[in-house]
Amino acid sequence: MYNTYESPFGTRYASEEMQYLFSADKKFRTWRLLWIALAKAEHKLGLPITEEQIAELEAHKDDINYEVAEERERLVRHDVMSHVYAYGVQCPNAKGIIHLGATSCYVGDNTDVIIMRDALKVVRRKLINVLSNFSEFADAYKDLPCLAYTHLQPAQLTTVGKRATLWMNELLYDLDEIDYRIKNLKLLGSKGTTGTQASFMELFDGDTDKVKELERLICEEMDFDGVVPVSGQTYSRKVDAQILATLAGIAESASKFSTDLRILQNFKEMEEPFEKNQIGSSAMPYKRNPMRSERITSLSRYVIINCLNPAFTAGTQWFERTLDDSANKRISVAEGFLAIDSILNILLNVTENLVVYPKVVTQRVMKELPFMATENVMMESVKRGGDRQALHEAIRVHSHAAAKKVKQEGGKCDLIERMAADPAIPMNQSEIEALLDPKAFVGRAPEQVTEFLHNVVKPILDRYPGLELTDAEIKLMADLIFMEAQSEPFEGQQAVAEVIFNRLKSGNFQSSINSIIYAKDQFAAVKNLYLAKPTDTQYKAIERALNGPYVLPEDVVFYAKFAVNKKIWGTIGSHIFCYSY
């Protein structure tokens, strides 16, 4: 479509997985699951709802008759009642008990909470993958000295790997926030029009215990550990504000990294991946612009600003509820998640293939190191009988003169030669140069990296084994689970386990997975994977996959079929991982 607006999140940036979570289909399927949960709870608590009516509702939980709902909404101008009506058309015996005692916010707000939890789990998975990439990078470059900067001016040395731990540490704060939000999210429950549960008190003849049990049963059915203790008609919009503030925290960390990388690319020390046929500039063929990092910075700015939307919404709700939250919330919450998903997708790409130019890094270090080594020269000279104060003044004069030659004359730094020629400094040139080993100026940086990765990062990565699956792998799993739905379950489960097992042992997984996806005989292709020794974390994921039987929930199988038929591979990803973790 070229004649109407399309969101760049849908066409360019966000994954299909995240887009599905905020789709109409996901929303309306969740509405039906909530209506089923309500009916089951009311039946169990003695209301005149039959098992046959519940079975009828469950039989049509997935085949939503959208045309009927849309036609009805044109007439009644109410989305919830339109879908109540459409569900009733498919379930004539149960139509009279759908939405019994509930308000629109029962399905609307509870669905919003469920979707945000699912989306947070996708964000967490991708964030952990980014940390995993950074962990490998930091370990590989923990010993490579580089210039550190304060005020963007060369300061003392650090190492390339140590700088990466700073980027990681920011993201770990964000991961803590994500974990907290997931753990503490509560359903609205069944609170009624103004939060008093009056309609349910009426239904249950004033039996408070049954009204409270109703919410517990709904939570159990929807896999939540509780509801908000009090509310008006909606859950507090501070929840949205807090969650989007958490997403903004990730954006802050991402922007910090992308800005640093853009500067390092200018220094020619590091750069983001650059594809073989990529064009950096339409005017200047030689350019290799940090376009992905710039996109991270740009999208991060959007996410940070966007968190003001729910904050203002939370602060301007009147009494038990006003509807001025709705239009803003539809846009700000969904696009906040789509934007952070887009950022993480780019981060995954960039951090997996970061480029370092060690010779340039070292060259830049050596240009500045003579100035940094002056204190060491002074201390060694004092040991040899020199006067500390006189040495300090002499070295100060030489440092300024050398800096002037570099800055004003464009010459080479000759500080070492100047100090070696000064009789007040009892060291010759070779003795001074012997002090210029960059590794002697990085302090505990390599050790700090090792300690950080082992003591802080590794336990977190071990806590989430198997979360390293890529979009391509998720697509493959969707294919295989679809096969399971069409064949003997045991064979399908074995296939899934076999793919996970071989995937985790693959030495060159990306090419292997592509060959599997496009192979006519996927089962044969799986067996031809190149095998290599898996890591400890991967072993744990293998054990998880092979300790059978590998049972897949009914909704996972359904969404796999839906994903394959509609080619929306992301659906299976969200359900596999949201179910598992």
**How far apart are the C-alpha atoms of 321 and 332, rounded to whole Å?**
18
Q: What Rg do the C-alpha atoms of the chain give, in angstroms?
A: 30
Determine the distance from the C-alpha atom of residue 223 to the mean position of all C-alpha atoms in its chain, rounded to a whole number.
22
Exposed / middle / buried, residue 179 (Cβ in 10 Å: 0-12, 13-18, 19+): middle
15 catalytically annotated: no
By residue count, the chain amounts to 581
Determine the distance from the C-alpha atom of residue 481 to the mean position of all C-alpha atoms in its chain, rounded to a whole number.
25
**How far apart are the C-alpha atoms of 84 and 60, rounded to whole Å?**
12
**Which is catalytic among the residues 78, 281, 487, 511?**
281
Our CA dihedral for 342, 345, 350, 352, rounded to 10 degrees, sits at 170
Half-sphere exposure of 265 (CA within 13 A, CB side): 21
Q: Are strands 145-150 and 355-356 parallel, antiparallel or unpaired?
A: unpaired
Query: 498-515: buried (b, 16+ CB within 10 Å) or exposed (e) per residue?
Result: bbbbbbbbbeebeebbee
**Which is catalytic among the residues 60, 78, 104, 151?**
151
Determine the 3-state secondary structure of 150 from DSSP.
strand
Closest of 502, 495, 511, 510 to residue 531, by C-alpha? 502
Query: 196-220: buried (b, 16+ CB within 10 Å) or exposed (e) per residue?
Result: ebebbbebbeeeeebbeebbebbbe
- Is the distance from CB of 466 to CB of 544 less than 8 angstroms? yes
Q: Provide the sign of the torsion angle of the four alpha carbons 559, 565, 566, 569, taken in this order.
A: positive
**How far apart are the C-alpha atoms of 84 and 357, rounded to whole Å?**
62
151 catalytically annotated: yes
**How far apart are the C-alpha atoms of 81 and 24, rounded to whole Å?**
16
Cβ-based neighbours of 481, under 8 Å, separated by 6 or more: 492, 496, 552, 556, 557, 560, 572
Closest of 311, 177, 337 to residue 240, by C-alpha? 311
**How far apart are the C-alpha atoms of 123 and 339, rounded to whole Å?**
11
Q: Which two tokens stand for residue 242?
A: 């807090």
Exposed / middle / buried, residue 472 (Cβ in 10 Å: 0-12, 13-18, 19+): middle
* Helices 79-90 & 66-76 angle (0-180, nearest 10): 140
Closest of 91, 56, 413, 49 to residue 204, by C-alpha? 49
Q: Which two tokens stand for residue 517?
A: 């996806």
| AA letter at 495 | A
**How far apart are the C-alpha atoms of 124 and 133, rounded to whole Å?**
14
- The residues annotated as belonging to the active site are 151, 281
